Amino acid sequence: MTQKDPVRIGIVGLGRAGWAMHVRELRPLDGFRIVAGCDTIPERVEQLAQEFDAKGYSRYEDLLNDGNVELVAIATRSDTHAEIGVAALEAGKHVVLEKPIVVNLDEADRLVEADKRAAGQLLVRQNMRHNPAFLHVQEIIESGILGEVFEIKLCRHSFNRRNDWQTMKEFGGGQLNNWGPHIIDHALMFLGGQVENVYGELKRVVCAGDADDHVKIILQGRSGLLVEIEISGGVALGEPHYRVMGTRGTLVCDSKEVTVRRYDPSEALPLDLHPESPPQDHPYGNPETLPWQEETFPVAPSRPTPAFYELVYTTLREGEPFPITPDQARQVVWVTDEVRKSATF
């Protein structure tokens, strides 16, 4: 990306997300210039200031008062997002806000209202919306080769005895707030945002803190489609990221490959009802052999998979609509609130 008018960005929070994600992604982009950074650990601030000739701050309020900063990226602990996000919008800045945008629906409403009043824009970093596997699975569903899709299962499994702040409730930790926003966003896209019922269960199984590290969610769409979500740091043998079940076949997909097993109804005999007792040598129903077609191929969506900050640039400099709206991000938080209401954890 080579642009004459770079977006001047300040980053609040220079830890794992702020440095290893935001700084790493921004470093090669000519369309952005890191002009400020803020962290409570002085060494992190000094590192940013030296590499980028940027201003360094220990208080986010001071960064928000820096007139050279037009975009603020907030990559602090989850429990601070609402406070800093609202303050940044009220200061007239554009805001990139890490997921989860906030930790409850009341905070989400405050943030959305602040965005409506603000001169700047709220840009939510649910960057998995453009994940190649997700986009490719969407394309296959839309092609109709699986027939009518009646259930989808979304999984993110690992076995990780985590022991950082992400395992602590008081800081907004837990898998529901960590991987949850990404996978819930995928589920809502599959459901067209139309949710009838939400069921959830939360457990702590292997992490050091008191927050959830095993999440089960079932979303029922108004169309009847069910989407099951399982996110866990306690599963040593994981399942595919995507399993899509349709009336003509099934799809499974991880991050690299898609496998589809399906049949063409035009190549099968008509399915007639025979209510009488089945023959003794076929006691379990229809003995037909369906003309199954099975293939495995690399993840390769035809749609573009833009990087997150490329989308930010085209929104702020070229006036393109940002693909994730604050209301969509609020709906993700609504789902997490509903899960907590139904969970026994």
pLDDT category at 131 given cuts 50, 70, 90 is very high
| Cβ neighbours of 222 (radius 10 Å) | 12
- The structure tokens listed for 212 are 């959830």
DSSP string across 130-164: G-HHHHHHHHHHHHTTT-SEEEEEEEEE-B----S
On whether both 72 and 182 belong to a single domain, the answer is no
What pTM, to 2 d.p., does this model score?
0.95
On whether both 151 and 275 belong to a single domain, the answer is yes
pLDDT, residue 1, reads 45
On whether both 145 and 286 belong to a single domain, the answer is yes
On whether both 154 and 118 belong to a single domain, the answer is no
CATH, residue 56: 3.40.50.720
Instruction: Report if residue 53 sits inside a domain.
Output: yes
Q: What residues contact residue 163 under an 8 Å CB cut-off, 6+ apart?
A: 207, 208, 209
Query: pLDDT at residue 283 above 80?
Result: no
On whether both 180 and 250 belong to a single domain, the answer is yes
pLDDT, residue 4, reads 67
On whether both 293 and 173 belong to a single domain, the answer is yes
On whether both 148 and 278 belong to a single domain, the answer is yes
Instruction: Report if residue 332 sits inside a domain.
Output: no
Q: Which amino acid is at 299?
A: V
Q: What is the mean pLDDT of residues 115-127?
A: 97
Query: pLDDT at residue 319 above 50?
Result: yes
pLDDT, residue 345, reads 81
Model confidence pLDDT, tens digit, residues 174-215: 999 999 999 999 999 999 999 999 999 999 999 999 999 999
Contact 295, 260 (CB under 8 A): yes
On whether both 65 and 183 belong to a single domain, the answer is no
Q: What percentage of the chain exceeds 70 in pLDDT?
A: 98
On whether both 85 and 145 belong to a single domain, the answer is no
Model confidence pLDDT, tens digit, residues 34-77: 999 999 999 999 999 999 999 999 999 999 999 999 999 999 99
Domain around 158:
138-305
Instruction: Report if residue 336 sits inside a domain.
Output: no
pLDDT, residue 286, reads 80
Q: What is the mean pLDDT of residues 324-329?
A: 97
Query: pLDDT at residue 279 above 80?
Result: no
Distance CA 210, CA 301 (A): 39
Instruction: Report if residue 339 sits inside a domain.
Output: no
CATH, residue 268: 3.30.360.10
| Burial profile 66-87: b = 16 or more Cβ within 10 angstroms, e = fewer | beebbbbbbbbbbbbbbbbbbb
**Domain tally for the chain?**
2
The mean of the pLDDT values for the chain is: 96
Instruction: Report if residue 345 sits inside a domain.
Output: no
